[in-house]
Amino acid sequence: MHIARLARTSTVRFAALYTLVFCVSVALLLGFIYDATVRAVDREIEVTLQTELASLQEVHRRLGSAGLIEVVRARSVDPTTSANSAYLLVDKALQPVAGNLAQWPATRSEAGGRLEFILDDPGEGTSGPRLYRAHVLVLPDGGRLLVAHSIDRRARAQRLVTDALAWGLAATLLLGVAGGFLISRAVLRRMEAIADTCARIVDGHMSERIVVSGTGDELDRLAIQLNRMLGRIEQLVEGMRTMSDNIAHELRSPLTRLRAAVDTALAGPPDAERYRDALQKALLETDRVLTVFGAVMTITQARFGLLRGQMEVLDLAALAAEAAELYEPVSEARSVSLEVLAPAPVAVFGHRQLLAQALVNLLDNAMKFTPAGGSVRVSVAQSAGRAVATVADTGPGIEAQARERLLAPFARGDGCAGIPGNGLGLSLVVEVARLHGAALALEDNAPGLRVTLTLPVRDAVSASHAPQGR
């Protein structure tokens, strides 16, 4: 994965931002610890020096200068006190009287009886220069008493904290960058997978799908939705492809016949009657072509949901009753009994013309295939919040394995020879069902075929106030 591209991703930018925030908080935390530690050490040294000076002052007050000299000498050589402390008693002319310092130190800073100095050679047991802090007491005789304490501890603590700060920041930065990189790469890898799949689909591999990791995270949810979308697109594209193949195939025959009729008429001797015949034939074939075109256009419009804007609340029971009524004389002429069972209004949200056409197509099929003496039954009922419309006949029915196939455009059953039709009737029903979010079921009516359309019901309150569809 290219670093430059990685750096442009939003995940990397988020990771960088997080690393920055972490670094700042680590620095703040360690800064606080540093400050607190140094303060504590300072206070401790201060208290030690004050206590010591106070006790020596007490000695001087009680025992006088000689006693003080004694005590200072004793402390200067006592290993427990002299390790970190230094003492120096000087007279008025700053000449040393007692103590473990050779001379009055060259001060680094001095303020209000407090001073800091560096001893280059503090004595045995130590190495290198040491930093001291001292308190000075001016004695009544003009001499001065200096009590100093090494503040190396303070410097050590300082160094410790500074080191910790540096390492901590480095670690945070490293972890942040590395973690950010890893996370970004993981996210990016899945994103790239999605992008790659899309690219392959664009290149024509319509059946490719995005891999779902199974963790159910947001990328999975995205992938699932994208896959659903791809499925629908593939279905539409596939539908269009078979549709156009079928149209081409279906139109070839009438167009060939049309051409033949015209060709034959032109080839023979000019004769008005023959010409008339040929033109009649041509007109018939042209009408056939136009019928196919019209049906295909309607199916396509329903398939692509172009007609959603014209959907309204309507009574499916009334629609079915009207469609049945249209076929009532036909049923009489064919000696097929036509029964309508739609006792109560069932409100659905739909496209009036398309639903009517779907019902008419189903009825037309039922009538065409039911022999004399048989019966066709249309029923509309509401059950479990669904509107159920059924058209059942006692014709030959459709074998279970052929049902799915016959839903495709231009598909016709084996027993259809001699029965008019172009194989588009059920396809329209399929698309109308899809447009309405309805389930379409072809079942055995034993004997015959039973087609059931199950639509969502529109609640009755809104239905009664809606204008009746015309």
Partner 1 sequence: MRILIVEDDPQTAAYVCKGLRESGHVVDHALNAADGGFLAGSEHYDVIVLDRMLGGIDGLELVHRMRAQGMGTPVLVLSALGKVDDRVLGLRAGADDYLAKPFVFAELVARIDALARRNAGGGWGTVLRVEDLELDPSSRRVTRAGRAIDVKPREFLLLEYLMRHHDQLVTRTMLLESVWDYHFDPRTNVIDVHISRLRQKIDHGFDKPLLHTVRGAGYMLGAHR
Which residues bind to partner 1, rule: CB under 8 A?
Answer: 290-291, 293-298, 301, 306-307, 309-310, 322, 325-327, 329-330, 332-333, 351, 353-354, 356-357, 360-361, 364, 420, 470
Q: Closest CB to partner 1 among 178 and 306?
A: 306
Tell me which DSSP letter residue 203 carries: T
Residue 350: CB minimum distance to partner 1, A: 13
Q: Closest CB to partner 1 among 32 and 293?
A: 293
Which of 305, 311, 296 shows the shortest CA–CA distance to 428? 296
Residue 438: CB minimum distance to partner 1, A: 18
- C-beta atoms surrounding 352 within 10 Å: 15
Which of 326, 37, 313 shows the shortest CA–CA distance to 157? 37
Strand order in the sheet with 439-444: 337-341, 375-383, 386-393, 449-456, 439-444
Residue 311: CB minimum distance to partner 1, A: 11
- C-beta atoms surrounding 40 within 10 Å: 12
Exposure of 245 in the CB half-sphere (CA atoms within 13 A): 9
SS (H, E, C) 52-65: HHHHHHHHHHHHHH
Would you state the structure tokens that stand for residue 390, as one six-digit string? 């059924």
3-state secondary structure of 459: coil
Residue 304: CB minimum distance to partner 1, A: 12
Residue 391: CB minimum distance to partner 1, A: 14
Q: Closest CB to partner 1 among 47 and 306?
A: 306
Q: Closest CB to partner 1 among 100 and 361?
A: 361
Residue 273: CB minimum distance to partner 1, A: 17
Q: Closest CB to partner 1 among 264 and 286?
A: 286
Which of 69, 106, 65, 63 shows the shortest CA–CA distance to 88? 69
Residue 283: CB minimum distance to partner 1, A: 9
Q: Closest CB to partner 1 among 291 and 462?
A: 291
Q: Closest CB to partner 1 among 56 and 354?
A: 354
Q: Quote the CA–CA distance of 146 and 468 in Å, as a whole number.
A: 110
